[in-house]
Amino acid sequence: MKAIVEAVSGGYCLAEDVGVPVPHPGSILVRVYAVALNPRDAKIINYSNAPTSLGGCDFAGTVAKIAEGVTRFKEGDRVLAVTFGSDAFDKTKGAFAEFALAEEDICCHIPDAFTFTQACSVGLSMATAGLALFQRPGLGLGMEMEEANGETVLVSGGATATGTMATQLLKLTGYTPIVTCSPANNALCETYGAAACFDYHSPTCGPDIRVYTDGSMRYVLDCVTDTTSMKMCYAAIGSSGGSYIALETIDTKVKYTRRDVRADWILADTIMGNGVSMAGTYGRPPSPEHREFGRRLFALTETWLYNGSITHHPLQIENGGLANLAKVLDELKFGKVHGKKLVIPLLAEEIISTA
């Protein structure tokens, strides 16, 4: 098959003679119709050392083959899934290929009203937002309405793909999401459930949020994760302290400016449960509790997609298939894409969206 793999010299390259992965017990082989690109795909190359490994995380398509023990799916089912490519220990994992492997419990059926290009954009955002909000070392929020009780949670970077997903999840589980974003994206964030939007360009953004929340806000998810955003989030957290979670390594100098704030960061890779083999701060031990959460989360995702409780981030669809993927990744890497999730169709759509 054709696939985008990690090149020996670094970066990605198109390979045309890659073996089709063989599904292992509990997994499915998917004929990939569309893939989505994420900042992780551009950054992982700097930290992994996995030449010839498949790249990519987000994909959607039809089930081509099921392995032993699979009961939720049958051949021909339309599915979305998330995986974590550029893995030195399992080079068959990855989304950027004509066929990709998915774990039965970390994927879900997709409604007929969703095209594959729409569906492929959901998986990684869902995994990231879910872990950041509802697990440790994330915020550890409860997912039941009575636990939420309308409590306000700040999502910094509300117009990012993870930001809009987090906003939807917070609203769906009984919290009151507020966000930071550019004023041009206020309407967008509000459509996803934001109760209030604050301009992250403003030098008083943090204090303004603190005034709005009467100094009582305890929880922040920072999808931007730079020093400026972290300082702003710290200024927004109330006088009794709270929790701050990021999606990338955090500035330790800012971290210790408030001893009443618990600050940490997450890797979505841990939702697979088998740990992360990268060196340094990116390494993670096995986390079966995250795998169990992932199983629950993707079962709920299927329900939410079918009943319309969640939807995808705005998309920017790029043509050219796998041959164009490396170029599009460069656009993402160098900050040429804003407010959109990049998606590349690999095969023609079978179902036209009505959404």
pLDDT of residue 349: 63
pLDDT of residue 326: 85
Q: Within its chain, how far is the Cα of 190 from the centroid?
A: 20
Q: Quick check: 131 and 271 in contact, CB under 8 A?
A: yes
How many Å is the Cα radius of gyration of the chain?
20
The conformational region for residue 26 under phi > 0 = left, psi -120 to 50 = alpha, else beta, is left
Shared domain for 170 and 106, answered yes or no, is no
pTM given for the model: 0.96
Cβ count within 10 A of residue 43: 14
Task: Look at residue 13 and give its three-state secondary structure.
Answer: strand
Q: Is residue 242 part of a domain?
A: yes
The least confident of 48-57, 72-81, 111-120, 324-333 is 324-333
- Beta-bridge partners for 14: 4
Shared domain for 220 and 166, answered yes or no, is yes
Both tokens of 275, joined, read 């740990």
pLDDT of residue 336: 64
The least confident of 25-34, 45-54, 74-83, 203-212 is 45-54
Shared domain for 163 and 259, answered yes or no, is yes
Q: Is residue 158 part of a domain?
A: yes
Q: Is residue 304 part of a domain?
A: yes
Owning domain of residue 282: 3-125+272-345
Find the helix or strand (DSSP H, E) in which 118 lies. Answer: helix 116-119
Q: Is residue 21 part of a domain?
A: yes
Number of domains in the chain: 2
Please say which residue of 231, 265, 299 terminates a domain: 265
Task: Look at residue 295 and give its three-state secondary structure.
Answer: helix
Q: Is residue 194 part of a domain?
A: yes
pLDDT digits (tens, 9 = 90+) for 170-192: 999 999 999 999 999 999 999 99
